[in-house]
Structures are given as C-alpha cells and as structure tokens.
Amino acid sequence: MPGHKPSGSQPELPDPAREIGAGAPDPAKCRAGRRSHGIDLPLCFVKPIPNCQFGLRFARTYFCRHPEVERIIARTRAQT
C-alpha cells in the first residue's frame, strides 16, 4: 500500500538544517553564544539595547534572556 509504513520502521526525522533556530528571531539581528568560562549566562553578540527587550547589559557585556535562547545559540553556531 502506498503511504503505509511497515511496523517497526522509524519515523522520518526533520531536516536539521531547517530546524536549527526555528522560532528564534531574525538571524541578521540576533546572535548569541556561551562563554567558555565564568558565569553561565548566554552572551548576546549584537548590541540589543534599545531594540530588544531581552538584552541585559552588565558592565561592557550584553546577555540574552530570550525564551528561545538555546535555538538562537544553535543557529549562531551553525552559521559559523
């Protein structure tokens, strides 16, 4: 039968290239990452203030508090 999958077959996995960063803000405007040492807060790689409500400035560093920050980090890593 067409469209019928035999029992025990594995479900189709989504294309990772299309899934990375899905739901995150515009990649041209939003990039983030993690520090290799020190405080484990996501770093914002763009100057978010005053345009992003999720940017937090501390000293000379910006941190990201976006709810999709892990997707943003994954997308940023995939682009580099």
What is the pLDDT, as a whole number, of residue 79? 83
Sheet-wide strand order for 32-33: 32-33, 43-44, 61-64, 55-58
pTM over 0.75: no
Cα–Cα distance, 21 to 1 (Å, whole number): 36
**Structure confidence by residue, pLDDT tens digits, 32-80:** 999 877 678 899 998 887 778 888 998 888 999 988 898 889 888 888 7
Omega within 30 of 0 (cis) for the link into 50: yes
User: What phi and psi values does residue 11 have, to the nearest 5 degrees?
Assistant: -70, 155
Cα–Cα distance, 63 to 46 (Å, whole number): 10
What is the pLDDT, as a whole number, of residue 42? 93
* pLDDT band, residue 18 (cuts 50/70/90): low
Which residues are bridge partners to 32 per DSSP?
44
Does residue 12 register a pLDDT over 70?
no
